[in-house]
Amino acid sequence: MANVLTATVQTAYAQVLLRAEFTLATNFTAVFERSIDGGLTWQALRGGNPATLVGPVPGAGNRIAYLYDTEMPLDVPVRYRATSNVPVVLTAGPVTVVSSGMGWLKDPARPWANVRIDQCAQTMPALCASPLVEPAVSLVAAGLGEETYAADYALSSILNRRHPADVFGYRKDATTSFTLISKTLTSMDTLNTFWAWGGPIFLQLPPVYGWPDRYYQPDAVKVVRVNPDLRKPQRLWPVDLVVIDAPVGAAQGTAQNNWCGIDATYPTYADLTATPFTWGDVMEGDAGPPLPGGYGYGLYGDGPYGG
């Protein structure tokens, strides 16, 4: 089989599955990238900078890598490329993930916890005409808060002068808020699972709402019972959000956080169980081979600016 990169849209999960296959046995890693401007500029994908190529495939000698892109824009044509260490460059697309009027709460570190949300135009008391049984759409957006772009400055009084010295910097990005409605106990559990990690999130709404795709650090999550009959499951979930840079951290496909790395670090199962690591440590990448600087993932770990 020839060198090939395929991009398969999975609309139900708002993601794209990438599969790269390289024929040369000297291809060991590949950098996966996306472009939303027709190939003029490219951005490396989470978990794909680089991704380890697995193989050779029995009987073929090829090496393969799979990667999920869960952070591509909605309703926008996207192109992909995979560049191996040789290098061999493969391209795919354009493909488009259609929103169909739905939004998404996404966790870059735990894409399996991503939550689909509907946009509700009805009044709050109606709760989108929620039945008491599990509806087809059980999470809806109840409101987008105002955005505040704080100034970054300091005024210093100067003796015998009327005006202070003004030291200022680039204006801060937005702080805002977002409110969801969960209409069933099942959807309430889904949101509890989503917010439990506590780290940065990625919020996507259809372009018609004029709310750009951005990464946020959530503050305290509140849960408000709407109905005076406490047996009714409807809840409001208001949360304050602060816009941040795209987080850098462990994700599927990284050279340090995969089962190949675990196998290379612990030759036998007994070697792994003899450590104090839990399966949670394994899944988060903490039990794999150490990163070059020894500080792990996150903002102050290894990486381009520490992360």
**Number of compact structural domains in the chain:** 2
| CATH code (residue 52) | 2.60.40.10
Distance in angstroms (rounded) separating the CA atoms of residues 38 and 254: 26
Least confident window among 19-33, 121-135, 137-151: 121-135
pLDDT one-digit tens code per residue, 269-289:
787 778 877 766 665 556 665
Predicted confidence (pLDDT) at residue 22 exceeds the cutoff of 50: yes
pLDDT one-digit tens code per residue, 256-266:
455 566 666 77
> Do 150 and 190 have their domain in common?
yes
Whether the upstream peptide bond of residue 247 has omega within 30° of 0, thus cis, is no
> Do 160 and 76 have their domain in common?
no
Predicted confidence (pLDDT) at residue 31 exceeds the cutoff of 50: yes
Query: CB neighbours of 297 closer than 8 A, spacing ≥ 6?
Result: 248, 249, 250, 285, 291, 303, 307
> Do 59 and 23 have their domain in common?
yes
Q: Name the pLDDT band for 132 (thresholds 50, 70, 90).
A: very low
> Do 27 and 120 have their domain in common?
no
> Do 223 and 143 have their domain in common?
yes
| CATH code (residue 157) | 2.40.30
Predicted confidence (pLDDT) at residue 211 exceeds the cutoff of 60: yes
pLDDT one-digit tens code per residue, 151-175:
999 999 999 999 999 999 999 989 8
pTM: 0.72
